[in-house]
Amino acid sequence: MSHLEQLPPVVALLIAGFVALGTILTLLGTIGLVRLPSFYERLHAPTLGTSWGAAGILIGSMLMFSTLGSRLVIHEVFLGLLIMLTTPVTMMVLGRAALHRDRAEGRTPPGTEGPEQPLK
């Protein structure tokens, strides 16, 4: 990657900062996914990776390629948009499946308070 030398140091640092932020958040999300006690809680952790985790990496990528001027930089905007629009689908399917199972087996979800009204 010889063209990396064309990057001004300030921009390189900025990009490194954004990419580091994104990857750290994604890593924390996966750690949470492994370590949290209940299913509903584990549902929250990966959203770190799909919100600012993804945004950090994408902003870094946009900065890098707009500085180098090698191509138009709105690919990342579409990537971010598609990630944001598709995550809720998976999330709802998983959440409702868990809820359905808990209702069918007649128990309150483990590690959590039940809703104010009893689960139907």
DSSP 13-64: HHHHHHHHHHHHHHHHHHHHHHH-SSHHHHTTTTHHIIIIIHHHHHHHHHHH
Q: Which of 13, 20, 35, 69 binds another protein (CB under 8 A)?
A: 35
Q: Which of 11, 12, 14, 28 binds another protein (CB under 8 A)?
A: 28
Q: Which stretch binds another protein (CB under 8 A): 3-11, 12-20, 30-38, 58-66?
A: 30-38
Place of tokens 């799909």: 50
Instruction: Judge whether 27 and 59 are in contact, CB under 8 Å.
Output: no
Q: Both ends of the chain: CA-CA distance in Å?
A: 59
Q: Which of 15, 18, 52, 62 binds another protein (CB under 8 A)?
A: 52
Q: How many CB atoms lie within 10 A of CB 6?
A: 10
> Cβ of residue 10: shortest distance to another protein, in angstroms?
23
> Cβ of residue 67: shortest distance to another protein, in angstroms?
19
Q: Which of 38, 69, 70, 101 binds another protein (CB under 8 A)?
A: 38
CA distance 18 to 45: 20
Kindly list the residues in this chain that would bind another protein in the complex (CB under 8 A). 25, 28-29, 31-32, 35-36, 38, 40-41, 43-45, 47-48, 50-52, 72, 74-75, 78, 84-85, 87-88, 91-92, 95-96, 99, 109, 111-117
